[in-house]
Structure 1
Amino acid sequence: MDNLVKICGLSTPETLDAALSAGADMVGFVRIPKSPRHVSLSLGHKLSLQARGRTQRVVLLLDPSDEELAQAVEAINPDLIQLHGSETPERVAEIRSIFKRPVMKALGIAEPSDLQALSPYAGADHILLDAKPPRTAGALPGGNGVSFDWQLLNGLDRKVSFMLSGGLNPDNVAEAIRLTKPQAVDVSSGVESGPGLKDPARIEAFIRAARTAFAAARH
């Protein structure tokens, strides 16, 4: 998962094409009904076909049942399943076994003790570190446009591979990469003009800034 850029929450053919044209390594399709980025199974199917062979396709779910997973996998045929709820390490392993797809587990970070949750999830194929959602009614599990204190990752074992998310945008992604040295970055609301409305210019700017920062980090 070296130096990958993921654009999550894509929900229209036009904005997906913008992400693909800009060179996104991963594109995410959200299956969380209360999210403004939620896609139906039929739309997810069409978008997945559009992206097939051009990038890695990720489906994002929140504490999904086996039935919900089966429907999403059949319709979207993702290259990777992203779990953004309170799934246990055992549940992650079970999903990997049943659906034969790599799994990325998102973990919320707000304080140093939250990093202790990483070790039990060593069985996941990828770890995504996101800001814990605000403690407000209706807050989404991700895509809230807030970041956590990146300095918290100073004590993280550098052998731990992770994707950084939470509050990233074209203006701060370079600094985030410099400070935290992630293997990959993920953005959703940071490339939007409004909730769920992806901005092609911001997508391109984000990917360009991340690529430049990753290149600088290698030297």
Structure 2
Amino acid sequence: MNKQIAVYCRVSSKTQDTASQKPDLERWINAFAPNAPVKWYEDQFSGRTMDRPGWSRLMQDIDAGRIDRIVVWRLDRLGRTARGLTALFDELPRRGIGLVSVKDGLDFDTAAGRLMANVLASVAQYETEIRAERVRAGQQKARKRGKTWGGSEPGRLLFLSSDQVETILHLHDQGKPKAAIARACGVSRPTVYRILCQNDAP
């Protein structure tokens, strides 16, 4: 069987897309695997679970012996729980499947790459937990003040999910402009400013 390279892209919500990840992934393919068969898998789903439609299809192809290597834009695109990632890192070598994270400069074919992957998995878990704590603290503070958040139109309240709040904070941490964050999350700029203020984000 002619095995394929699996390219996996993920964003956290349906209001985002994977367009920003694809140029780097395509450059990697052109540089390191120009003649290899490639199959793309995509998810618009939270990284806090490994149970995602695109990832499930990829795992089915792995089980069928069709995949030789997985390529991702960044390691946290695979997931953001240390348990799920470390289980995956144990499983892939046993199946003879390589893993490349383009932005992290990580290749599972080396011992250093495997070590760094586990370190980054722990960091991703830590960042997720810290962000969740910030969200809860900000919401609690807002409730004590008797405030509600959201509202893209006067007189209309928009209640955001914890995933949306987490995405706003994550994009802000990455230095994205407020207008870009608003477009990505499907909310107004005042909503973005309000969420950042409630979560003490500078």
Name the TM tier (shorter chain).
Answer: 0.3 to 0.5
Higher helix share goes to which structure? Answer: 2
Q: TM-score, normalised by structure 1?
A: 0.31
Higher strand share goes to which structure? Answer: 1
